[in-house]
Amino acid sequence: MKALIFGASGQVGRALVATAPERMEVVALGRADCDVTDRNAVTAAIRAARPDLVFNAAAYTAVDKAESEPDRAGMLNAAAPGWIASAARDAGARFVHISTDFVFGGTSGRPYRPDHPTRPLSVYGRTKRDGETAVLDADPDALIVRTAWVHDAAGSNFVRTMLRLMAERDRLDIVADQLGTPTHAPSLARALLALAAKSASGLHHFTDAGVASWYDFAVAIQEEALALGLLERASVIAPIVTADYPTPATRPGCVILDKSATWALLDRPPPHWRATLRTCLNEIARQKVAKNG
């Protein structure tokens, strides 16, 4: 089995490379290796690799910046996935694409099933929704997995940002009325690989288990980081509402993805988000020791 990973320098791409089984030959292409907005480059990369499986972990993820760069976001999140799906299909490879909970509006009041109508509130959400459409138009047998609140020990994410701000500030105001599920990138990577191995197709949802607000997530980060010695002191973490923290992009209020069908296909639910957060922070602590040692 040979897998080609686009976006291999991002946190999900790196996790896919790290968790791929030993028997799988992996071709990892980061941004510097292949510009996914160049259709010819994408086609050439797939033809050269001759993979059995293609993962697209490349995306425009700067949610607020996308409001002022809709064309760039659309190219990366909508056009490019369709091109990759088409080239993968032509090469006889199965295609796996990663999408987001931002395709929903967050007002349903119950968990969102994969077949629930989408209602994105931002450029980011709209371009990701358009990417799903482009992928399935190009390859109806493709696998699309929506996820949420992805974090890892490296890269740019909420966990890393909170650790930095907690070390710098005595008080942080964190939004408490947006709900979702923090998801460790390696958890997602393992799920993507397992779903691909089972030849899953169509729309699926996957996150770690449990529900949190951004405020809950921040409180947990500080508690775990203090226990690990990643922080020397506690900051005051105050809950605020979305209206008190205006941003260029509108965020969905409550998006809990219904993962029941996906978890059943995988034979088990993943760990709770608090457990995988602890795993993430332990890795950051190990990296800190290695760097200072």
CA gap 175, 217 in Å, rounded: 10
Contact 217, 278 (CB under 8 A): no
Contact 7, 59 (CB under 8 A): yes
Nearest to 106 by CA among 261, 254, 275: 254
Nearest to 84 by CA among 19, 35, 27, 13: 35
The most distant pair of C-alpha atoms in the chain lies apart, rounded to whole Å, by 56
Backbone angles phi, psi at 96, to 5 degrees: -125, 125
CA gap 286, 276 in Å, rounded: 15
Helix (H) or strand (E) holding 124: helix 123-138
215 is catalytic: no
CA–CA–CA angle 189, 195, 201 (5° rounding): 125
Which residue has 């809990």 as its token pair?
Answer: 256
Which of the residues 60, 112, 124, 215 is marked catalytic? 124
Helix (H) or strand (E) holding 26: strand 25-29
Helix (H) or strand (E) holding 144: strand 143-147
Catalytic amino acids? 124
